[in-house]
């Protein structure tokens, strides 16, 4: 069966850059000549032009290469005013393959001895050599080349039809952009404001040398993305993960911007992280890495500018190290530089379980709207870390039955229900939920498709995709994790009547209590756990109601409604902060504006 795949914005950018190299643009021509290989020239130029690390450029190129080689038919969308799709001819597709191969790490379509006066001639030679075309002394190839170049340089988008199985590698940043587009269209958003929201305000990339326990030195790459600060200081977690990419951090930072906006907090959005494997590092190595990362970022973060927090594989200890290192740099106790700290050093009561408590409040609201009696319902939880464990524990205490749980090492199922606190003791002893008493093992895939009332993905992104969305049987999906559902899966869930509480709302309890922690740090006066809980409930339930209202009014799913609320708040703030619009507002009110 043929499957249609569209090239992502990043992949299209890569394709256009390849075409630019062939257009013999002088600035690019010198580049390609000064590098040892065309592959290296393309990767470094792409990395600089798009502000992404070279490793991310490789990944984009590999995807383009794979898709071009697997594409049976390739269509290009022409620019305005034509705005029409054109299919590439067989020769143009072959030419595209030769062109892509030219930039490959291991080119195989050109004769080794190929040497021609210009790059264009080398490509024509390679085409003739690989595809055996001799007609018209290469005129045929030359024509295909010219046509292809024109189409690639002007293409608005590229679509491929492929017989190959589509490996789902959705890019979370692309998902954010797609949803922003939908929300923007519904709100008739000013295109300029949309342009601002599409891009991160600032990206900081640092390389942190760390002396390892064996005396060797390793260098770790870290990121901090400050996406948008129109509503206040940027705020967002710090993720340690071996597969972390800048695109992922950008997407997470964009989500934070939407999350703080949808919940009405006076904060912007940011995110950070380090590409490392904390499971293979000793506590001492992790501390040195965290302190090095803090020193590298010190001038860019602070209680009034950007405030990190914990995320996957970081915790209150990590935050205490950041706070301590930063405090030493600035010369006073700067508790407010991070949130999620231990209570003894400026943390807030109730922060540990805040994300999950907020998640529970949103589930209670959703159940009310759906007319479901929550007590006695069955729950499956993917991921048994901070969010997954507390969500399971709180819902268990509420009276729900936790029937399945998983972590990175495997999953377990017991239709009679599990005791999360006891399960956590087992995990602490053995390192995983797998092997827990009276349970049958199940895979992560099986857990997602389980017959249950409530599904809580609380691990990583892209868990519910087009491939499994149709098989989800839960009535409510409450997104503890960020980005667990891809946009196309969302459509399927909505059609099938699954009520999705989107991440930006469902897991916003963490940032809400983080905000409370900042407030308490600034006052140096601390609230009781009860106060924290009731303020959290108030904030998140109000946000849920606002989103639900928009979803009903516009007949859209909860995610689009949440994006619409957030984007509207950001756009309003932007227009008030923009002098030009302020003049208009002042004029409209007949007030003098200097």
Query: Which chain residues interact with ligand NAD by CB under 6 A?
Result: 310-313, 355, 382-388, 406-408, 444, 458-460, 480-482, 507, 510
Distance between CA atoms of residues 470 and 451, nearest Å: 13
Distance between CA atoms of residues 432 and 422, nearest Å: 13
Length in residues, the chain: 594
Distance between CA atoms of residues 290 and 337, nearest Å: 14
Q: What's the min distance (Å) between Cβ of 408 and ligand NAD? A: 4
Distance between CA atoms of residues 366 and 243, nearest Å: 34
Q: Is 71 helix (H, G, I), strand (E, B) or coil?
A: strand
* Cα atoms in the 13 Å half-sphere on the side-chain side of 282: 8
Q: What's the min distance (Å) between Cβ of 433 and ligand NAD? A: 8
Beta-carbon contacts of residue 538 (< 8 Å; ≥ 6 apart): none
Q: What's the min distance (Å) between Cβ of 424 and ligand NAD? A: 10
Q: Which is nearer to ligand NAD, 151 or 390 (CB)?
A: 390
CB neighbourhood size of 194 (10 A): 17
Distance between CA atoms of residues 412 and 246, nearest Å: 33
Q: Which is nearer to ligand NAD, 125 or 407 (CB)?
A: 407
Beta-carbon contacts of residue 72 (< 8 Å; ≥ 6 apart): 2, 160, 161, 162, 163
Which of 261, 271, 263 shows the shortest CA–CA distance to 573?
A: 261
Q: Which is nearer to ligand NAD, 45 or 386 (CB)?
A: 386
* Structural contact between residues 323 and 335, judged by C-beta atoms closer than 8 angstroms: yes
Q: What's the min distance (Å) between Cβ of 349 and ligand NAD? A: 15
Q: Which is nearer to ligand NAD, 20 or 365 (CB)?
A: 365
Q: Which is nearer to ligand NAD, 45 or 514 (CB)?
A: 514
Q: What's the min distance (Å) between Cβ of 406 and ligand NAD? A: 5
Q: What's the min distance (Å) between Cβ of 303 and ligand NAD? A: 19
Sheet holding 454-457, edge to edge: 440-442, 410-413, 401-407, 378-382, 454-457, 476-478, 499-501
* Structural contact between residues 338 and 364, judged by C-beta atoms closer than 8 angstroms: no
Q: How far is CA 554 from the centre of its chain?
A: 26
- The one catalytic residue in 128, 259, 271, 393 is 271
* Structural contact between residues 487 and 522, judged by C-beta atoms closer than 8 angstroms: no
Report the C-alpha dihedral over residues 338, 347, 278, 169, rounded to 10 degrees.
-70
Q: Which is nearer to ligand NAD, 126 or 363 (CB)?
A: 363
Angle between helices 246-262 and 529-554 (to 10 degrees): 90
* Cα atoms in the 13 Å half-sphere on the side-chain side of 482: 29
Beta-carbon contacts of residue 302 (< 8 Å; ≥ 6 apart): 326, 330, 334, 337
Which secondary-structure segment (H or E) carries 4? strand 3-6
Q: Which is nearer to ligand NAD, 46 or 223 (CB)?
A: 223
Would residue 151 show up in a list of annotated catalytic residues for this protein?
no
Q: Which is nearer to ligand NAD, 200 or 502 (CB)?
A: 502
Q: What's the min distance (Å) between Cβ of 504 and ligand NAD? A: 10
Burial 480-502 (b: 16+ CB within 10 A, else e): bbbbbbbbebbebbbeeebbbbb
Q: What's the min distance (Å) between Cβ of 453 and ligand NAD? A: 20
Beta-carbon contacts of residue 198 (< 8 Å; ≥ 6 apart): 177, 180
CA distances to 75, 157, 526 from 7, rounded to whole Å, are: 10, 7, 51
Q: What's the min distance (Å) between Cβ of 317 and ligand NAD? A: 12
Q: What's the min distance (Å) between Cβ of 463 and ligand NAD? A: 7
Q: Which is nearer to ligand NAD, 226 or 314 (CB)?
A: 314
By beta-carbon distance, which residue lies closest to ligand NAD?
385
Distance between CA atoms of residues 75 and 92, nearest Å: 11
Q: Where are the alpha helices (DSSP H) in 263-307?
A: 283-297
The C-alpha angle 64, 70, 76, rounded to 5 degrees, equals: 65
Q: Which residues are catalytic?
A: 271
């Amino acid at each position: 069966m043929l499957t249609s795949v569209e090239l992502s914005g990043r992949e299209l950018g890569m394709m256009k850059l390849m075409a630019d190299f062939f257009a013999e643009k002088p600035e690019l021509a010198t580049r390609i000549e000064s590098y040892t290989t065309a592959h290296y020239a393309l990767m470094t130029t792409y990395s600089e032009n798009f502000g992404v690390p070279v490793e991310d450029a490789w990944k984009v190129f590999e995807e383009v290469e794979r898709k071009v080689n697997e594409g049976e038919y390739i269509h290009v969308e022409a620019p305005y005013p034509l705005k029409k799709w054109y299919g590439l001819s067989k020769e143009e597709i072959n030419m595209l393959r030769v062109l892509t191969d030219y930039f490959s790490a291991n080119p195989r379509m050109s004769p080794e001895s190929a040497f021609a006066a210009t790059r264009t001639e080398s490509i024509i030679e390679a085409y003739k050599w690989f595809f055996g075309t001799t007609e018209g002394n290469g005129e045929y190839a030359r024509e295909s080349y010219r046509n292809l170049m024109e189409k690639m340089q002007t293409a608005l988008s590229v679509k491929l039809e492929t017989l190959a199985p589509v490996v789902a590698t959705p890019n979370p940043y692309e998902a954010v952009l797609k949803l922003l587009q939908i929300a923007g269209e519904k709100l008739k958003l000013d295109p300029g404001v949309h342009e601002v929201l599409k891009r991160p305000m600032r990206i900081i990339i640092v390389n942190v040398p760390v002396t390892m326990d064996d005396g060797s030195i390793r260098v770790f790459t870290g990121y901090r993305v400050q996406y948008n600060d129109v509503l206040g200081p940027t705020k967002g977690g710090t993720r340690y993960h071996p597969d972390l990419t800048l695109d992922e951090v950008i997407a997470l930072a964009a989500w934070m911007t939407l999350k703080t906006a949808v919940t009405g907090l006076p904060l912007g959005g940011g995110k950070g992280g380090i590409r490392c494997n904390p499971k293979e590092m000793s506590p001492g190595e992790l501390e040195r890495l965290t302190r090095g990362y803090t020193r590298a970022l010190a001038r860019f973060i602070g209680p009034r500018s950007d405030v990190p927090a914990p995320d996957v594989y970081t915790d209150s200890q990590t935050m205490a190290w950041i706070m301590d290192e930063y405090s030493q740099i600035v010369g006073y106790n700067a508790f407010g530089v991070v949130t999620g700290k231990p209570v003894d050093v400026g943390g807030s009561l109730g922060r540990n379980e805040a994300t999950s408590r907020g998640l529970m409040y949103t589930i209670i609201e959703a159940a009310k709207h759906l007319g479901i009696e929550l007590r006695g319902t069955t729950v499956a939880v993917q991921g048994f870390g901070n969010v997954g464990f507390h969500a399971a524990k709180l819902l268990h205490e509420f009276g729900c039955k936790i029937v399945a749980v998983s972590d990175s090492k495997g999953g377990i199922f017991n239709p009679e229900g599990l005791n999360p606190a006891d399960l956590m003791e087992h995990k602490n002893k053995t390192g995983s939920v797998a092997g827990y008493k009276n349970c049958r093992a199940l895979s992560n895939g099986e857990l997602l498709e389980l017959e249950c009332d409530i599904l809580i993905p609380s691990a990583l992104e892209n868990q519910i995709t087009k491939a499994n969305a149709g098989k989800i049987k839960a009535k409510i999906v409450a997104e503890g994790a960020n980005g667990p559902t891809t946009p196309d899966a969302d459509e399927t869930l909505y059609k099938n009547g699954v009520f999705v509480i989107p991440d930006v709302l469902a897991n916003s309890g963490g940032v809400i209590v983080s905000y409370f922690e900042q407030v308490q740090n600034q006052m140096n006066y601390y609230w009781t756990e009860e106060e924290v809980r009731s303020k959290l409930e108030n904030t998140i339930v109000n946000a849920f109601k606002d989103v639900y209202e928009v979803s009903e009014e516009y007949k859209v799913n909860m995610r689009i409604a949440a994006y619409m609320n957030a984007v509207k708040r950001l756009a309003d703030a932007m227009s008030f902060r923009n002098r030009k619009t302020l003049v208009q507002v002042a004029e409209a009110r007949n007030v003098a504006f200097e």
